[in-house]
Amino acid sequence: MFKSVFLLAIIFCSVAFTPLSFGQELQKAALLENITIIYDQSASKTVITSVTLETVNNNAILIPDELLDKLSAQKDIRFVTFTNMGECVMGVSTDEQCIIVKFNLETIKGDGGINAIQTNATEIGNDLISDLNNMFNLNAKFHSIWIEGGSNVDAVSMLEDTTMGGTVSATYTMPKQETNVAFNNMSKLLLAKEIRGSGGFYEIAKQLANQPGSILSVTIVQDEERPLFLFKVSKEYKDEATDISIINPLGIFDISELERTELFNDYFVPLNSIVRVLIIPENPVQINKIKSDVIDDLSNADRLSNPGWFFTYASHDKIDARFLFGATNSVSADKLVMELGPWDAQNEDDFLAVNTVDENLSEQYAILAVIIVVAVGAALFYLKGYKRNH
């Protein structure tokens, strides 16, 4: 199921600006930019932020064709990633960064056992590491093969509709770079000049990369039809979710206004810049007040022309919302503020007139949901690390 919807998302993210069949000039673009803020009050009292640039166009995130050919020939690979997160897998120190080739456990094992896994993963990883080092301008050396089973359900798993299952990581390491250094190097190497010069969420990612403790990851997600490329900066703020009565998503970035990339200025692409807010409260809550409209129909281009929140889930135990810019190019911080209060069980049916999204809604809902799932890291390593540490 996930694979078919993932392919739908890939189709949606095709490389040209072309109208969709909504009867109006709703368009789509190769680049997706999104900001995700997770308020995990229930488990860790932590706020996790990330800024991701995503594309299927390797002229936007510059991935060599030769490397893509090698990756496509290896059906066992789920994704490859660079991350400067210390302790990227067990046994890697905090002062090292990693290039990881992640495999599907069952397919890389074949009919063999642990020895086959070690041999096959090492052989494929060693065949790719020279190309990966050249692309990232690094000199990572083989460290280990790490095997892990399926993931447990936690706050981060709520971002996804599926679990990854068993995986094998061929891990290559080198001394860790500070995130601002890695960001400057990687952005110049890998991001098209037009992206770097057009502001938008890229500028927020750049600011976040200058924060102590931030993490950079660059990932190529494998797919039979077309690979997906992600450039992501993340940061975890401990003990910042103890009070969630006022949710100010842009406050964590200390900005008063968020602008979209200038690349979208001449196009109506309301689904290509998204702010996602995921709230997991310790006790039941409800939304008492929001300052923007609620969008309840993604199939209506006229409705999408106005900025507002689209809720994929809104209940007393979890709130999952996406802010869409509509036809506007910016939003002020105060327009994204939500006020929460204790859940009133007597008025459960009046929870902002928003309920859990029906599974049988139109395919536009599925497209948006999967775009966000992929964009915030269905296969990204930073969130995998968060699950392990919490």
Q: What is the pLDDT of residues 78-99, one digit of tens each?
A: 999 999 999 999 999 999 999 9
Residues 6 or more apart in contact with residue 230 via CB below 8 angstroms: 52, 53, 54, 61, 217, 218, 219, 220, 221, 375, 377, 380
* 293 burial level (CB within 10 Å; 0-12, 13-18, 19+): middle
Bridge-based pairing of strands 257-259 and 96-104 is: unpaired
Whether the predicted model's global pTM rises above the 0.95 cut: no
Q: What is the pLDDT of residues 101-154, one digit of tens each?
A: 999 988 888 777 888 899 999 999 999 999 999 999 999 999 999 988 754 444
Neighbouring CB atoms inside 10 A of 105's CB total 19
Regions of the chain where pLDDT drops below 70: 1-25, 150-165, 346-390
Q: What is residue 35's predicted lDDT score, i.e. its pLDDT?
A: 97
The two three-digit tokens of residue 300, written as one number: 């209506």
* 7 burial level (CB within 10 Å; 0-12, 13-18, 19+): middle
Q: What is residue 124's predicted lDDT score, i.e. its pLDDT?
A: 95
| Contact (CB, 8 A) for 26 and 19 | yes
The residues spanned by each domain of the chain are 2-389
Cα separation, 4 vs 6, whole angstroms: 5
